């Protein structure tokens, strides 16, 4: 009897230790009992990746609820930023504005890859350096030097339209993901990419770009060839870089994480720093301006021998102090494009969670078999408006820019044949400059007065236009936990 009990004991210990070994070295589904990552048992793969990697130049912005909108007097009488409580998900944002050196790298790549066959691609990306010209000022030196001279490499790029900023963000997505695959030993360096044979994240994931393969992933599917390309489900590649939404930008600019005590905002900020002043109140730096802006008529930088903000125009992107998220120049220096389409009452119309106006839903274009069609001559995947199936409840059209505002259904012309529906609400070019291509920019600039330094203020410009005081920075969604690592 005693010997039998010993045998049962050792058998149970052996079973227990075997279970530990399997759980450590071969993870098992807790709902089916089938092993993951085992080609002998079906080959279903479970990635070992636990967290999203932080992309280069990005800062983690922990989200939350805040009151979005006006904190300053409505001196313009626009009534276009009524305070409203919303919630912003956690995301990532560039520590600084995109610099001239960053944009020059982009232009060089476009010239190298498309310059011979598609020179228009490079031309379309060029900033409007003539934006510096003024009929009553001598600004020609900025036209020649600001973008390209090494002295301005660390200054924010300007003269870039909203459309150009989005193209830069898409290019940056591909370069960062290509670098990740090279770093992880999947691909070799390939400086000879030209035309459609350049790395594109969507094309790679769709199997329409292979590149110079160094070592593919092991394919555990018994039906496979034994190796495969990286998939999105591996968690190795990063989501797309993009412009921040207006709500994200304003939330990040305020940096209220520095004024939070036990879920209470102890002081609502007027600017990205505490207090209602635009000068430092610290003992060692008392009186110094906290941002680069125009102090008054004809005063852009102060008096010689004691230049207060140190720049008659833009200043280096790390000038002045960062806010409590570690973001530089969220007030002053240059205004910044955000993703949203402008509407005067956007704050009243948008959702409470992740508010945004400007959605145009698209999907990859597919053939009759359901596979993505061939990429275009520039190596990009083709996209089409998302279809609206019968019975769908969450959206009824792909283009939702004018949803609940500015469309024929909400106008006096409902039921009539209106040839130009975009002009129904705002009479663009007659009584208004607002249409579906009017995009928001925020933050104030080197040539703005202090009023525009408040994150709640907002203005708009056509998405194809550019000025010498508007730049941009990129953002990225946070995948998974909103708390971060």
Q: Indicate which CATH number applies to the domain containing 97.
A: 3.90.1580.10
Looking at the domain assignment, is residue 39 inside a domain? no
Q: What is the pLDDT of residues 178-196, one digit of tens each?
A: 999 999 999 999 999 999 9
Looking at the domain assignment, is residue 44 inside a domain? no
Contact 273, 323 (CB under 8 A): yes
Q: What is the pLDDT of residues 285-340, one digit of tens each?
A: 888 888 999 988 988 888 888 787 778 899 999 999 999 999 999 999 999 999 99
Tokens, residue 264 = 């209470």
Mean pLDDT along residues 141-146: 95
Between the alpha carbon of residue 465 and those of residues 192, 199, 357, 359, 439, the distances in Å are 33, 29, 20, 21, 10
Looking at the domain assignment, is residue 422 inside a domain? no
pLDDT at 292: 92
Tokens, residue 317 = 């992107």
Tokens, residue 336 = 């910044």
Mean pLDDT along residues 208-213: 96
Looking at the domain assignment, is residue 1 inside a domain? no
Looking at the domain assignment, is residue 89 inside a domain? yes
**Which range (56-60, 137-141, 327-331, 345-349) has the least confidence?**
345-349
- Residue 145 CB contacts under 8 Å (≥ 6 apart), including other chains: 151, 152
Looking at the domain assignment, is residue 115 inside a domain? yes
Mean pLDDT along residues 434-453: 94
- Residue 261 in this model has a pLDDT that exceeds 90: no
Looking at the domain assignment, is residue 223 inside a domain? yes
Looking at the domain assignment, is residue 41 inside a domain? no
Instruction: Tell me the residue range of the domain where 275 lies.
Output: 56-401+436-477
Domain count of the fold of the chain: 1
Q: What is the DSSP string of 321-344?
A: ---TTS-S-SSSSSEEEEEEEP-T
Contact 442, 335 (CB under 8 A): yes
Q: What is the pLDDT of residues 84-100, one digit of tens each?
A: 999 999 999 999 999 99
Contact 248, 340 (CB under 8 A): no
Instruction: Please indicate, yes or no, whether the overall pTM of this predicted structure exceeds 0.85.
Output: yes
């Amino acid at each position: 009897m005693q010997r039998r009990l010993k045998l049962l004991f050792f058998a149970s210990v052996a079973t227990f230790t075997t279970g530990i070994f399997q759980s450590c070295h071969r993870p098992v589904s807790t709902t089916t009992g089938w092993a993951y990552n085992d080609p002998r048992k079906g080959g279903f793969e479970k990635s070992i990746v636990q967290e999203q990697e932080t992309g280069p130049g990005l800062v983690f912005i922990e989200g939350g609820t805040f009151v979005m909108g006006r904190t300053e007097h409505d001196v313009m009488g626009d009534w276009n930023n009524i305070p409203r409580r919303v919630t912003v998900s956690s995301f990532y944002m560039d520590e600084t504005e995109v610099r001239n050196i960053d944009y020059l790298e982009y232009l060089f790549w476009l010239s190298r890859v498309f310059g011979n066959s598609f020179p228009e691609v490079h031309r379309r990306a060029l900033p409007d350096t003539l934006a510096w010209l003024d009929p009553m000022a001598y600004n020609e030196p900025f036209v020649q030097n600001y973008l390209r001279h090494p002295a301005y490499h660390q200054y924010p790029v300007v003269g870039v339209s909203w459309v150009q900023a989005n193209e830069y963000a898409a290019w940056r997505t591909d370069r960062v993901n290509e670098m990740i695959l090279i770093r992880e030993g999947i691909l070799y360096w390939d400086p000879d990419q030209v035309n459609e044979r350049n790395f594109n994240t969507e094309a790679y994931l769709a199997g329409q770009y292979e590149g110079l393969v160094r070592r593919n992933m092991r394919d555990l599917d018994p039906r496979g060839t034994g190796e495969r390309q990286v998939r999105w489900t591996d968690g190795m590649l990063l989501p797309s870089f993009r412009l921040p939404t207006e709500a994200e930008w304003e939330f990040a600019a305020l940096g209220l994480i520095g004024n939070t005590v036990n879920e209470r905002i102890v002081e609502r900020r007027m600017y990205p720093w505490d207090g209602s002043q635009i000068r430092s109140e610290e003992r060692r730096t008392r009186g110094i301006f906290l941002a680069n802006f125009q102090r008054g008529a004809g005063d852009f930088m102060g008096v010689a021998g004691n230049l207060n903000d140190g720049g008659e125009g833009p200043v280096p992107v790390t000038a002045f102090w960062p806010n409590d998220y570690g973001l530089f120049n969220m007030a002053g220096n240059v205004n910044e494009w955000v993703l949203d389409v402008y509407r005067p009452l956007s704050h009243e119309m948008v959702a409470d969670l992740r508010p945004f106006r400007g959605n145009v839903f698209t999907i990859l274009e597919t053939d009759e078999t359901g596979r993505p069609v061939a990429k275009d001559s520039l190596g990009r995947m083709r996209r089409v408006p998302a279809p609206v199936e019968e019975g769908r409840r969450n959206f009824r059209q792909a283009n939702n820019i004018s949803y609940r505002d500015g469309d024929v259904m909400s106008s006096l012309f409902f039921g009539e044949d209106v040839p130009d529906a975009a002009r129904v609400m705002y009479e663009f070019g007659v009584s208004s400059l607002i249409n579906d291509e009017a995009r928001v920019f925020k933050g104030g600039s080197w040539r703005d007065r202090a009023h525009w330094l408040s994150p709640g203020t907002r203005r708009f410009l056509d998405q194809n236009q550019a000025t010498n005081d508007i730049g941009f920075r990129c953002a990225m969604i946070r995948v998974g936990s909103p708390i971060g690592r």
